[in-house]
């Protein structure tokens, strides 16, 4: 339906997403699930990381093996809610660098307001995974990726848990070169620009602030 958008329909991801959406799921379990889903999504979305051949001496013989080529990737969560996905990726790629971009949606205009940006200096030599559980209007993701592109990274991927069609439309229009990975593609946004059916406010559910 959209070019460069991948909905991850693995049964484990879909099972966990179902529990994540449930309003009865508490903050502790919500945090655990976000992290687990992010890890499973990372496994799928890192399939095309480049490899190089090295020589390895096993206890039996010397052989050719494969290891990741180049510098390890960078992970950039969009604060706050993107923080919930970081551990999941670090479980798989512990040497990844972590940058942070702080953004919140203005409650009236729903436009992103950025308040923080700290990124690894050598981003130009890395693949970057941008993390945010929710792609609603797409404003936050569009602005975050625009900011990251100023550093000319090798490649950028955007990973969210739930995407709205409006957000995908907006994001893929501005950044057609950036693949989007999501676990669920929902119906629409409501009048407050929340995703329907969605899971509510991801940041509040992760940090228990409501």
User: Does residue 37 interact with ligand URA by CB under 6 A?
Assistant: no
Could you tell me the CA-to-CA distances from 114 to 16, 101, 142, 154, 192 in Å, in that order? 31, 8, 12, 24, 20
What would the two tokens of residue 154 be? 């090798």
Q: Is 72 exposed, middle or buried (0-12, 13-18, 19+ CB in 10 A)?
A: middle
**Which token pair is 24?**
């009865």
Q: Which of 56, 63, 109, 146 is catalytic?
A: 109
CA 62 to chain centre: 38
151/171 with CB nearer ligand PRP: 171
Query: 21, 31, 105, 155: which is the annotated catalytic residue?
Result: 105
Distance CA 206, CA 210 (A): 10
Gap between the Cα atoms of 139 and 135, Å rounded:
8
Residue 119 contacts ligand URA per CB under 6 A = no
Is 137 an interacting residue with respect to ligand PRP (CB under 6 A)? yes
d(CA 178, CA 175): 6
Confirm whether 109 is a catalytic residue. Answer: yes
Interface map 93-132 toward ligand PRP (x if CB under 6 A): ----------xxx----x-x-------------------x
9 catalytic per annotation:
no
201 makes contact with ligand URA (CB under 6 A): yes
Q: Binding of ligand URA at residue 87 (CB under 6 A)?
A: no
Is position 80 an interface residue for ligand PRP (rule: CB under 6 A)?
A: yes
Residue selected from 78, 131, 180, 182 as contacting ligand PRP according to rule CB under 6 A: 78
Q: CA 130, CA 179: separation in Å to the nearest integer?
A: 11
Name which of residues 151 to 210 contact ligand PRP (CB under 6 A): 167, 193, 201-203
- Report the residue from 136, 145, 159, 160 that binds ligand URA according to the rule CB under 6 A: 136
With 0-12 / 13-18 / 19 or more C-beta atoms within 10 angstroms meaning exposed / middle / buried, residue 28 is exposed
The answer to whether residue 41 forms part of the interface with ligand PRP (CB under 6 A) is no
Please report, in angstroms and rounded to a whole number, the separation of the first and last CA atoms in the chain: 35
Residues in touch with ligand URA (CB under 6 A) = 81, 134, 136, 194-195, 198, 201-203
Residues in touch with ligand PRP (CB under 6 A) = 78-81, 103-105, 110, 112, 132-141, 167, 193, 201-203
């Amino acid at each position: 339906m959209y070019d460069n958008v991948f909905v991850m329909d693995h049964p484990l991801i879909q099972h966990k997403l179902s529990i994540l959406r449930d309003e009865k799921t508490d903050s502790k379990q919500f945090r655990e699930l976000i992290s687990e889903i992010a890890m499973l999504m990372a496994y799928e979305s890192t399939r095309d990381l480049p490899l190089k051949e090295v020589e390895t001496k096993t206890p039996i013989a010397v052989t050719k093996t494969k290891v990741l080529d180049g510098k390890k990737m960078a992970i950039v969560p969009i604060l706050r809610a993107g923080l919930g996905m970081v551990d999941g990726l670090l479980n798989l790629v512990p040497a990844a660098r972590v940058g942070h971009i702080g953004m919140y949606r203005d409650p009236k205009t729903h436009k992103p307001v950025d308040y923080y940006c700290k990124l690894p200096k050598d981003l130009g030599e890395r693949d970057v995974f941008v993390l945010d559980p929710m792609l609603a209007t797409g404003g936050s993701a569009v602005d975050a990726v625009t900011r990251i592109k100023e550093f000319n990274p090798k490649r950028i991927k955007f990973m969210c848990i739930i995407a709205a069609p409006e957000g995908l439309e907006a994001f893929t229009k501005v950044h057609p070169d950036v693949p989007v990975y999501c676990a669920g593609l929902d119906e629409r946004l409501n009048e407050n620009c929340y995703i329907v059916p969605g899971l509510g406010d991801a940041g509040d559910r992760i940090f228990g602030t409501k």
